[in-house]
C-alpha cells in the first residue's frame, strides 16, 4: 500500500531559463497548487512571488532574498555544486537546499577522459605537429603508455566519480576510489578508501597514474590537494580537476609541474575563474585547460526534471531528499 502524502505543495516559484515546453513538463511533474515562472531578472515579480512561495527552483545558488522569504521551506538549485549556497546563514535559516548533481555525470566523466587521453597521447604536441605539417618528431613518443593497465584514482565517489570509475574500468584500468563517507563500493572500484574510516588520500595518490577529482568544494575539501599531497604522486602521474578550483592549491600545482614532480594536469576549473592571462598554466606544455564548460547530454533537462520531481514526492512525504545540502558541506573559505 502506498504511504499517503504528509502535505501538499503550495506555491512554487521557478526562475529557470528553460523553454516553455520544458517549464510545462516541470509544472506537471511537481503538481503544486500554484506554479509561478518568471525570468530571474524580473526582480519585482520574483520579490512578489517570494511573499508566498513555499518552494523555489533556481538556475543559480540562492541569495539573501530567499533567506528573507517568510514561507520558503525548500530551494532547489539546478546545478551540481552548492558551494555558494553552503553558507552559515543558510543553515541557520533551516532551509532544505537541494541540487541537480548527477544530471551531467556521464558528460563530466567523458570530459575527464578527454583530459586523460589528451595527456597520455600528448594532444598538444600532436596538434602542433599537424599545424606544422610534420609527420614525426615528438621525442620518445614510442615509449608513452596508453591508459589500459594503468591505475586510476578517483577522489569523490558521487555521481560523477562513479561514472569516472566505470569509464576507467572500461579502459582496462585498475581503479581506486576515495570518498568522504562510508558506503558500498561501486562494482567498478577495485579498492576503496574513506575519510570516515580514517583513510587519507595519500595512499591513493601514491598508487595512481591518473588522479581525477570529483569532490564538492567545502571547508573539508578546500586545498585537499596541496604541496604535501602532490609530493605523494608519481612523477609520471597526471592530475585532472573536474571539481572546483580551490580543491587544489594552484600555486603548489604550478610548482609541482615546473619541478617535474608530476607529469601533467587537466583543468576544467581554476582559481580564479576566468584564469588570468598572466597565469603560467596557459603556456605549460603538459597542461590542458577548458573554461569550466562541458558539452551537455541530450536529455539533461529531463534528468533535472526527474530529480526535482522525485524530490517533490519525497518532500510531500517528509522523506530524505536527493542531493540535499548538509552542514558538512559548509564552505567559509571563499
Q: Under a CB-based contact definition with an 8 Å cutoff, are residues 62 and 74 in contact? A: no
| CATH (one of 3.40.50.720, 3.40.50.1980, 1.10.260.40, 2.60.120.380) for 105-289 | 3.40.50.720
244 is catalytic: yes
3-state SS class at 233:
coil
Handedness of CA 52, 314, 179, 267 (dihedral sign): negative
Domain assignments of the chain as residue spans, ordered by start: 11-103+298-329, 105-289
3-state SS class at 90:
helix
Q: DSSP assignment, residue 64?
A: H
Our measurement of the distance from residue 31's CA atom to the centroid of its chain's CA atoms, rounded to an integer in Å, reads 29
**Pairwise CA distance, residues 138 & 142, whole Å:** 9
Does the domain made of 11-103+298-329 have the CATH classification 3.30.1050.10?
Answer: no
76 is catalytic: no
Catalytic residue among 52, 124, 223, 292: 292
273 is catalytic: yes
Q: Under a CB-based contact definition with an 8 Å cutoff, are residues 65 and 83 in contact? A: no
Half-sphere exposure of 321 (CA within 13 A, CB side): 23
Task: Write a three-state SS string for 287-322.
Answer: EEECCCCCCCCCCHHHHHHHHHHHHHHHHHHCCCCC
Q: Under a CB-based contact definition with an 8 Å cutoff, are residues 190 and 216 in contact? A: no
Q: Which residues contact 105 (CB under 8 A, 6 or more apart)?
A: 159, 160, 162, 163
**Pairwise CA distance, residues 97 & 90, whole Å:** 9
pLDDT of residue 2: 54
pLDDT tens for 132-183 read 999 999 999 999 999 999 999 999 999 999 999 999 999 999 999 999 988 8
Q: Which cell goes with 326? A: 548538509
Catalytic residue among 273, 317, 319, 328: 273
Q: Under a CB-based contact definition with an 8 Å cutoff, are residues 162 and 184 in contact? A: no
Q: Same fold for the domain at 11-103+298-329 and the one at 105-289?
A: yes
Task: Sort 257 into a burial class: Cβ within 10 Å, 0-12 / 13-18 / 19+.
Answer: buried
Name residues of the chain where pLDDT drops below 50: 1
pTM of structure? 0.95
Q: What angle do CA 275, 276, 282 make, to 5 degrees?
A: 70
Rounded to whole angstroms, what are the CA distances from 285 to 30, 39, 104, 138, 231? 49, 43, 29, 12, 20
pLDDT of residue 1: 47
Amino acid at each position: 500500500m502506498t504511504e499517503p502524502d504528509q502535505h501538499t505543495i503550495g506555491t512554487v516559484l521557478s526562475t529557470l531559463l528553460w523553454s516553455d515546453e520544458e517549464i510545462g513538463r516541470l509544472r506537471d511533474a511537481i503538481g503544486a497548487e500554484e506554479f509561478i515562472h518568471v525570468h530571474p531578472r524580473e526582480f519585482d515579480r520574483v520579490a512578489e512571488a517570494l511573499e508566498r512561495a513555499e518552494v523555489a527552483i533556481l538556475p543559480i545558488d540562492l541569495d539573501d532574498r530567499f533567506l528573507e522569504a517568510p514561507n520558503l521551506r525548500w530551494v532547489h538549485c539546478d546545478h551540481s555544486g552548492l558551494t555558494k549556497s553552503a553558507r552559515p546563514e543558510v543553515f541557520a535559516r533551516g532551509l532544505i537546499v537541494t541540487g541537480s548533481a548527477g544530471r551531467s555525470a556521464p558528460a563530466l566523466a567523458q570530459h575527464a577522459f578527454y583530459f586523460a587521453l589528451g595527456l597520455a597521447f600528448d594532444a598538444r604536441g600532436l596538434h602542433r605537429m599537424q599545424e606544422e605539417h610534420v609527420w614525426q618528431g615528438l621525442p620518445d613518443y614510442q615509449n608513452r603508455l596508453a591508459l589500459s593497465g594503468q591505475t586510476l584514482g578517483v577522489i569523490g565517489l558521487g555521481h560523477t566519480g562513479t561514472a569516472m570509475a566505470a569509464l576507467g574500468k572500461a579502459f582496462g584500468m585498475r581503479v581506486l576510489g576515495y570518498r568522504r563517507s562510508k558506503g558500498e563500493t561501486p562494482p567498478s572500484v577495485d579498492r576503496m578508501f574513506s575519510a570516515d574510516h580514517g583513510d587519507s588520500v595519500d595512499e591513493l595518490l601514491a598508487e595512481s597514474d591518473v588522479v581525477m577529482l570529483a569532490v564538492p568544494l567545502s571547508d573539508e575539501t578546500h586545498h585537499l590537494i596541496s604541496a604535501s599531497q602532490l609530493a605523494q604522486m608519481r612523477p609520471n602521474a597526471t592530475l585532472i580537476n573536474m571539481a572546483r578550483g580551490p580543491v587544489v592549491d594552484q600555486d603548489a600545482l604550478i610548482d609541482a609541474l615546473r619541478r617535474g614532480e608530476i607529469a601533467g594536469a587537466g583543468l576544467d576549473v581554476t582559481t580564479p575563474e576566468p584564469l588570468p592571462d598572466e597565469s603560467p598554466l596557459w603556456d605549460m606544455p603538459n597542461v590542458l585547460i577548458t573554461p569550466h564548460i562541458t558539452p551537455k547530454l541530450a536529455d539533461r533537462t529531463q534528468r533535472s526534471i526527474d530529480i526535482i520531481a522525485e524530490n517533490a514526492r519525497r518532500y510531500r512525504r517528509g522523506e530524505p531528499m536527493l542531493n540535499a545540502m548538509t552542514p558538512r558541506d559548509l564552505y567559509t573559505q571563499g
